[in-house]
Structure 1
Amino acid sequence: MELIESGFDSSKIQFATKSKQKNPNTKLLVINNKNESTNTDALQNISEYFEKGDLLVVNHSATIPSSLSGKVLRTKETIEIRLASWVGLDFTNGYNWNVISFGAGTWRDKTEDRIEITDLHETDVITFDNGLFAVVKKIIVKPAKLIEIEFQTDISTEELWNKIYEIGKPIQYSYLEENLEIWDQQTLFSGPPVSVEPPSASFQFSWKIIKKLMQKGVKIVPILHSAGLSSTGDKILDSFLPFPERYEISENSAYQIKNAMDNNKKIIALGTSVVRALESVAFVNNGDIKASSSTTDFKIHKTHKMKIVNGIISGMHIPEESHMQILLAFTSEKLILEGYNKAIKINFLWHEYGDLTFIY
C-alpha cells in the first residue's frame, strides 16, 4: 500500500463523530474498474449502478454489547474485556470467547493508550457487578492482551445472554463524541446477535433505498457472519485481524447466489464481512457457492482473486486498516488513491457512521 500511504494525507481525514444513521445526505465514492474511473455521488442514487437480476448480499447479524467491565477477583484490579471471537462452532454457545483485555480507562481513551493488565493468570476469575463471572482459561498473548475465557457454566444459555446484555456496552472508539447505546449498533437487516462490532456498511441504508433497488429488480440476499473487532490497540495483534469468525449461508441464499453467477449478474457485497463469508466458502469449494455453517480464518489480501463477489459497498477506511486489503482485492491502489483524494476535498466522513465507497 506504499502508493496510498505516500500519496494520501491521513491527517486531513474527517471522522464521523456521531452515531446518526440513515443520513439522507450520505455521500458515495464510486470506483468503476471497467472504465478505470472514480466519481462521487449520493448513496440515494445507488440503484442507478445496478441492473435487473443483480444481487446485493447483506449481513443480517445484530451486534452484541461486547464491552464488559469488571474486576479480577484475586487482585481487585479493574479490567475491561472486549469479546473478540467465538470459541467453537455453535452460535448459541456464548460461554467461551477469545477476548481483548484492558486495565482501567474508558472508550474515551485512545485504544492504543489503554493500560495493560499485567498480573493475570490462568484460572483467575473475573467478576461483574450483576453476579456474572468468567474464568481465564488461557493467556494467548502476553501480557494478557488476548485471552480465552469461559463464562460461568452453572447458568442456562438464556440466563447468560441476559446477564451479558444487562452489563455489556457497545465497543466504541475515542473519535466518537457520545456514549453509544445498543440500538446505535444495529442495522436495517439485524437478526441473530452474533457480531461483536457492527457490519457498519449497512448503517446508512434506509427502506427507501432498498425499495428503489427492489423496484429495479435487484434481489436482497441475506447471509450471517459474526463481524469481529476492528482494532485491538496493539499493532502486532492488529496485524492478525480479522480473527476467526463464524458464518452461515442458507440453502436459499446459496441458490440465489449460484443462479446469479450462472447468469453473469453482479453480486455486490454490502460490507467486508459479506466478502469474507462468501470468499471463504469459495475457497473450500473450488470457487463454488454452497450452503455452509462454519468458522473461517481465511484472510483476504490485495492479491486475492475474487471467486464469487463482483463488487463491494464499504465504509471509508484508513490505509493501515485490515479492511483496506479487502478493498485492494477489488481495485488498484491508483484508483483508491484518486478516489480518496476526491473524497477528502468534498469532506467525506470516515469510519463506521460515515460515508461509503462502492467498487465494481
Structure 2
Amino acid sequence: MKTSDFYFDLPQELIAQDPLEDRSSSRLLVLDRESGKTQHRVFRDIIEYLNPGDCLVVNNTKVIPARLYGSKIGTDAKIEVLLLKRRENNVWETLVKPGKKCRVGARISFGEGLLIGEVIDVVDEGNRLIRFEYEGIFEEILDKLGQMPLPPYIHHQLKDKNRYQTVYAKHDGSAAAPTAGLHFTPELLEEIKKKGVHIAHVTLHVGLGTFRPVKVEDVTDHHMHSEFYIVEPEQAELINRVKKEGGKIVAVGTTSCRTLESATDENGILKAGSGWTDIFIYPGYPFKMIDRLITNFHLPESTLMMLVSALAGKDKIMAAYEEAVKERYRFFSFGDAMFIM
C-alpha cells in the first residue's frame, strides 16, 4: 500500500481560513460505507442519524496557547517556541525556530522576563527540552503571552481564541484542536441528549505530529507520533454498556477514534486508564469499538486519510472526496464535516 494511493487534488481556495459564525451551520457530507452513497446536509442535521441508545464519544482536550515569541538573552535574537509535550511540571518538549540559535544552555525571555526558558537538552528530531522559570501559575502566564498554534495551512489571524476550542474543551494539553468537535454547539448537544443519545468523554492531547506528512513510500514503514490519552472508569463503563446493548458507538473525530481503539482489548472491552498511544490505523485494520465516525476533510496522503479509508474503504473515501471537491466543500480544520455511517 503506497502513500500516493491516498493523494487527491485539492484547489487551494477550498482550504477554509476562518471558522463560520455559527458552528453547526457547516455542511455535512454523509457517506454510507456499505453502499458508498452520499447525501449533502447541514451539520445540525447530524441528530437525524443518531438513535436513542447510541453513544457519541467526544474528546474533551483543550488547546493551550502553545506558540510563544521571545528573544535570546544576550543577543536579543528573535526566537519562536512551540510547546509540544509537558515532560515534568516546568519542563516541556518544544519545537524551536531558529534551532541553531538555541543550543543547550541558551536562555530565552518572553513577555519582558515574565517567563524565562532555558534549553536543557536536544531530543528526537531536534526538538528542545526547555525548563521554564516564572512566578505564579504557568497556565495564566501562557494565556497572557501565548498564541493559538494554528495549523500551517491557515494563514489568517484568529480573532477569537475560543473558535479553535470545542464547546466542551476541559483538560489543558493539546497543541492542535480535535476539529470534528468544533461543529457542535451547546444547544445541539442538548437536543442530542434529549433524543436519548448518550454523550461520553475521553481525553487525547493532540500533538503537532497530526500534521506531520508521511514521507515514506510504503505506508507500513511510517512511524506514528505518540499522544497521551485518558479514559475515566465511568466513561468506559457507559461506552461498554451501550456497545453491549447494541447501540452505535459514534466517535467524534479521529482523536476519539484512536483513543477508543487504543484502549479497547481484543475482546472488544474498553479499559479505563491512561497512557501513550502511537496507534496507526490504515486499511486492513479491524475496528474493535467504533461503529461510526464524524470527521472533517483531511490532507492528501495523511495518516488521517488512511484512518478514514480503513473505516469506509479507500475507493469509497476517494470517491466521496472527489464529490466534496466538486461540490465546493470547505476543507481541513475550519472546514465542513463528514459522517461515515
Task: Report the TM range for the smaller structure's normalisation.
Answer: 0.7 to 0.9
Instruction: Describe the SS at the equivalent of 2:149.
Output: coil
Structure 2 residue runs of 5 or longer lacking an equivalent are none
Partner of 1:133: 116
**Cα distance, 1:265 vs structure 2:** 1.5
State how far apart, in whole Å, the 1-side matches of 2:224 and 2:179 are.
15
1:247–1:294 CA contact under 8 A, matched in 2: yes
**Cα distance, 1:66 vs structure 2:** 0.7
Partner of 1:218: 197
Partner of 2:252: 270
- Cα distance 1:250–1:340, how it changes in 2: closer, same or farther (>3 A)? same
State how far apart, in whole Å, the 2-side matches of 1:292 and 1:203 are.
26
- More divergent stretch after superposition (171-180 vs 44-53): 171-180
Please show how residues 18-167 of structure 1 align to structure 2 within 5 Å.
Answer: 18-73=18-73, 75-87=75-87, 93=89, 95-103=90-98, 117-131=99-113, 132-141=115-124, 144=126, 146-152=127-133, 155=135, 159-167=137-145
1:278–1:309 CA contact under 8 A, matched in 2: yes
Partner of 1:306: 287
Residue of structure 1 aligned with 2:206, choices 223, 227, 231: 227
Instruction: Describe the SS at the equivalent of 1:313.
Output: strand
Partner of 1:185: 164
Give a deviation string over 1:177-215, Cα, whole Å, max 9, x none: 233442222211111222121111111112332233223
**Cα distance, 1:24 vs structure 2:** 4.6
State how far apart, in whole Å, the 1-side matches of 2:276 and 2:6 are.
32
- Cα distance 1:36–1:232, how it changes in 2: closer, same or farther (>3 A)? closer
- Cα distance 1:205–1:334, how it changes in 2: closer, same or farther (>3 A)? same
- Cα distance 1:333–1:2, how it changes in 2: closer, same or farther (>3 A)? farther
1:19–1:180 CA contact under 8 A, matched in 2: no
State how far apart, in whole Å, the 2-side matches of 1:125 and 1:64 are.
22
Matched, 1:332 2:327: no
Residue of structure 2 aligned with 1:258, choices 240, 252, 259: 240
Give a deviation string over 1:205-232, Cα, whole Å, max 9, x none: 1233223322321111111221222436
2:236–2:272 CA contact under 8 A, matched in 1: yes
**Cα distance, 1:330 vs structure 2:** 0.8
RMSD: 2.5
State how far apart, in whole Å, the 1-side matches of 2:326 and 2:31 are.
16
Instruction: Describe the SS at the equivalent of 1:253.
Output: helix
- More divergent stretch after superposition (266-275 vs 34-43): 34-43
- Cα distance 1:12–1:170, how it changes in 2: closer, same or farther (>3 A)? closer
State how far apart, in whole Å, the 1-side matches of 2:142 and 2:47 are.
39
**Cα distance, 1:298 vs structure 2:** 2.6
TM-score normalised according to structure 2 size:
0.88
Partner of 2:323: 342
2:214–2:303 CA contact under 8 A, matched in 1: no
State how far apart, in whole Å, the 2-side matches of 1:126 and 1:82 are.
13
**Cα distance, 1:286 vs structure 2:** 5.6
State how far apart, in whole Å, the 2-side matches of 1:184 and 1:209 are.
16
State how far apart, in whole Å, the 1-side matches of 2:242 and 2:122 are.
45
Instruction: Give the share of equivalent positions with the same residue, in percent.
Output: 25
Aligned length: 332
- More divergent stretch after superposition (324-333 vs 117-126): 117-126
**Cα distance, 1:72 vs structure 2:** 2.7
State how far apart, in whole Å, the 2-side matches of 1:67 and 1:240 are.
27
- Cα distance 1:13–1:99, how it changes in 2: closer, same or farther (>3 A)? same
- Cα distance 1:300–1:13, how it changes in 2: closer, same or farther (>3 A)? farther
1:241–1:322 CA contact under 8 A, matched in 2: no
**Cα distance, 1:58 vs structure 2:** 0.6
Letter in 2 for 1:135: E
TM-score normalised according to structure 1 size:
0.84
